[in-house]
């Protein structure tokens, strides 16, 4: 399929006779509102959006969820600027300069910069995704099982840099995720593991209920324990009503390199499994602070800081879709929810997806283009009245979120998913209080099963027979099956360097100091 044909195919999928386009607009509105609500992350927004996709086709489902995903990242900047409360974690750096500008009466300008930077970052990453995905997926078809094992293991190795200040608890969290991934039947022997006699667990831990429980239910339970509630009076500028003002041409020219750098870095970080928009936004904010001619002004309310954060976190959305569409490996938690939703519909994720069904790429690309343009208009309207939305008592808002969470967890006509969701929600609260990392648990759960599958397949293709072979021959054949290709060897060297980085990086830093 040529690029022109893919473009037409994408337009057809998004338009869908007009009905699908209306659903995309609904998804953008829902995503912007979900993203702006404190405590409702982008992952939670996508998980809640699953409720609307059960009757949709696989392509329509990814269109709807992609629209929610992209718009929710942008929505988080609204409360970050007006209330100093990031709607999504990736908007946290936006508060550093957005809120001081709002306090000076420049909330409209701050929102304008945030929306423009979001649109530019999102559009750039969508273009990169469209151009990279097809060649990368074709190259991935030549990957052996050992290569795929090395790539998925690299995703797990990201754990050591996911939270450098709490490496031990992050690794423990990742190991808990790997333990959850072990539930079900062994892929080689077919033996039940950790099912405790429950036949419903033989197919493994259901991903969607776990994600909804860890993110949605946990946040609702946490909010019920919050003494202070947001109200319209907490906003700035006429009870939170602001007139969004786009940056002038001189202001745009002044931050053009910031937008370019952060769009590139955000896309690259988004491609890395487990990294995501939050790491991208903090990384780019720090980078721009170091590169700036006036670093002392960062944190006092300048548009450079807002542009860096918002361009980066929106660029990460397109980046996260690249490994999902090309390799079947989610680039982040929200992408993991999408992968789970498509798996429920029988879609086989992996390198063959875009060769067999290229409409997934074209539909995702056009959706991201439409979303990044329309969400600017939607966010401008929502920002004017958002203080009133936040004034809704949480005893109304919380049950609505829980209801959507229960509907999203109810699958295949049984209540096992709902039970798993409730348990995951309670575990999520415990995880919060023990200062463990929910993202690391999800990363271990998502990549653990994939890593084991590719390892088992590589092991089987090596024709290793432990009864008739010596230990040395077994090790030699297993090593050759897993690391015998140049790709696997290079990636595994990168994994080892990454895993050892907490040891040698402080030594290098100390030596430089």
Please tell me the predicted confidence (pLDDT) of residue 2: 62
- Highest mean predicted confidence (pLDDT) among 1-5, 377-381, 462-466: 377-381
Please tell me the predicted confidence (pLDDT) of residue 225: 61
Query: Band of the pLDDT at 235, cuts 50, 70, 90?
Result: very low
Tell me whether residue 372 is in a domain.
yes
Model confidence pLDDT, tens digit, residues 319-334: 888 777 777 777 667 7
Tell me whether residue 503 is in a domain.
no
Tell me whether residue 66 is in a domain.
yes
Q: Give the 3-state secondary structure of 480-504.
A: HHHHCCHHHHHHHHHHHHHHHHHHH
Q: Is the pTM value of this prediction over 0.75?
A: no
Model confidence pLDDT, tens digit, residues 371-424: 888 888 888 777 777 656 555 666 776 787 777 677 767 654 567 778 888 888
Tell me whether residue 67 is in a domain.
yes
- Say if residue 239's pLDDT is above 60: no
- Say if residue 466's pLDDT is above 60: no
Model confidence pLDDT, tens digit, residues 211-221: 777 766 777 77
End-to-end CA distance of the chain: 55
- Highest mean predicted confidence (pLDDT) among 14-18, 123-127, 204-208: 123-127
Tell me whether residue 477 is in a domain.
no
User: Which of 31-35, 39-43, 253-257, 453-457 is least confident?
Assistant: 39-43
**Arithmetic mean of pLDDT, 65-94:** 79
Please tell me the predicted confidence (pLDDT) of residue 171: 85
Model confidence pLDDT, tens digit, residues 472-510: 666 666 676 666 678 788 888 888 888 888 888 778 877
Q: Coil, strand, or helix at residue 184?
A: strand
Please tell me the predicted confidence (pLDDT) of residue 34: 81
Tell me whether residue 495 is in a domain.
no
Tell me whether residue 321 is in a domain.
yes
Query: Band of the pLDDT at 244, cuts 50, 70, 90?
Result: confident
Percentage of residues of the chain with pLDDT beyond 90: 1
Q: Angle between the 276-291 and 303-327 helix axes, to the nearest 10 degrees?
A: 140
**Arithmetic mean of pLDDT, 12-27:** 80
Please tell me the predicted confidence (pLDDT) of residue 208: 66
- Highest mean predicted confidence (pLDDT) among 37-51, 141-155, 310-324: 310-324
Please tell me the predicted confidence (pLDDT) of residue 234: 45
Query: Band of the pLDDT at 14, cuts 50, 70, 90?
Result: confident
Please tell me the predicted confidence (pLDDT) of residue 148: 75
Please tell me the predicted confidence (pLDDT) of residue 53: 79
CA gap 8, 24 in Å, rounded: 17
Query: Band of the pLDDT at 268, cuts 50, 70, 90?
Result: confident
CA gap 473, 466 in Å, rounded: 9
Among residues 309, 290, 364, 468, the alpha carbon closest in space to that of 62 is found at 364
CA gap 274, 125 in Å, rounded: 17
CA gap 258, 396 in Å, rounded: 41
- Highest mean predicted confidence (pLDDT) among 33-37, 185-189, 352-356: 33-37
Mean of pLDDT over the chain: 76
- Say if residue 299's pLDDT is above 50: yes
Q: Which domain holds residue 325?
A: 3-461
As for how many domains the chain has, the answer is 1
Please tell me the predicted confidence (pLDDT) of residue 462: 64
CA 103-104-106 angle, to 5 degrees, is 100
- Say if residue 238's pLDDT is above 60: no
Tell me whether residue 276 is in a domain.
yes
Model confidence pLDDT, tens digit, residues 163-213: 667 788 888 888 888 888 888 877 677 788 887 777 777 777 776 677 777
Contact in structure between 306 and 94 (CB atoms under 8 Å):
yes
Q: Coil, strand, or helix at residue 198?
A: coil
**Arithmetic mean of pLDDT, 358-382:** 81
| Structure token pair of residue 352 | 């063959």
CA gap 71, 462 in Å, rounded: 46
């Amino acid at each position: 399929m040529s690029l022109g044909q893919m473009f037409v195919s994408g337009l057809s999928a998004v338009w869908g006779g007009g009905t699908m386009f209306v659903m995309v607009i609904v998804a953008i509105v829902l995503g912007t509102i979900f993203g702006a609500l404190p405590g409702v992350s982008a992952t939670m927004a996508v998980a809640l959006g699953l409720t609307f996709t059960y009757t949709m086709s696989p392509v329509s489902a990814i269109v709807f969820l992609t629209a929610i995903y992209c718009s929710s990242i942008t929505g988080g900047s609204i409360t970050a600027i007006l209330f100093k409360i990031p709607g999504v974690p990736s908007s946290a750096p936006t508060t550093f300069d957005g809120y001081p500008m709002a306090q000076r009466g420049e909330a409209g300008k701050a929102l304008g910069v945030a929306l423009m930077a979001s649109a530019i970052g999102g559009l750039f990453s969508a273009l990169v995704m469209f151009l990279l995905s097809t060649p990368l997926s074709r190259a991935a078809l030549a990957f052996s099982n050992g290569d795929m094992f090395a790539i998925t293991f690299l995703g797990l190795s990201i754990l050591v840099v996911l939270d450098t200040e709490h490496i031990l608890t992050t690794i423990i969290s990742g190991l808990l995720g790997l333990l959850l991934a072990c539930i079900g039947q062994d892929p080689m022997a077919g033996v039940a593991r950790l099912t405790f006699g429950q036949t419903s667990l033989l197919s493994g831990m259901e991903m969607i209920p776990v994600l909804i429980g860890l993110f949605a239910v946990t946040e609702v339970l946490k909010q019920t324990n919050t003494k202070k509630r947001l109200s319209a009076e907490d906003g700035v500028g006429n009870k939170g009503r602001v007139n969004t003002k786009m940056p002038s041409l001189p202001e745009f020219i002044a931050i053009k390199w910031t937008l370019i750098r952060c769009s590139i870095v955000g896309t690259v970080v988004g491609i890395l499994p487990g990294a995501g928009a939050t790491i991208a936004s903090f990384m780019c904010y720090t980078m721009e602070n170091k590169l700036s001619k006036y670093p002392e002004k960062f944190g006092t309310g300048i548009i450079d800081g807002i542009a860096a954060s918002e361009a980066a976190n929106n660029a990460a959305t397109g980046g996260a879709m690249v490994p999902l569409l090309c390799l079947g490996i989610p680039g982040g938690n929200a992408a993991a929810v999408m992968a789970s939703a498509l798996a429920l519909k029988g879609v086989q994720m992996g390198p063959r997806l875009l060769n067999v069904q290229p409409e997934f790429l074209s539909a995702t690309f056009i959706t991201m283009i439409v979303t990044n343009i329309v969400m600017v208009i939607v966010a401008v309207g929502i920002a004017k009245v958002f203080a009133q939305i936040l004034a809704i008592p949480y005893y109304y808002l919380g049950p609505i979120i829980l209801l959507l969470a229960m509907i999203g967890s109810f699958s295949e006509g049984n209540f096992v998913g709902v039970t798993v969701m409730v348990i995951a929600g309670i575990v999520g609260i415990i995880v919060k209080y023990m200062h463990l990392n929910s993202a690391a648990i999800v990363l271990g759960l998502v990549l653990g099963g994939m890593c084991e599958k590719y390892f088992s397949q590589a092991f089987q293709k090596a024709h290793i027979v432990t009864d008739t072979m010596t230990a040395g021959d077994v090790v030699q054949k297993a090593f050759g099956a897993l690391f015998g290709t140049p790709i696997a060897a290079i990636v595994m060297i990168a994994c080892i360097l990454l895993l050892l980085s907490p040891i040698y990086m402080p030594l290098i830093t100390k030596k430089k100091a």
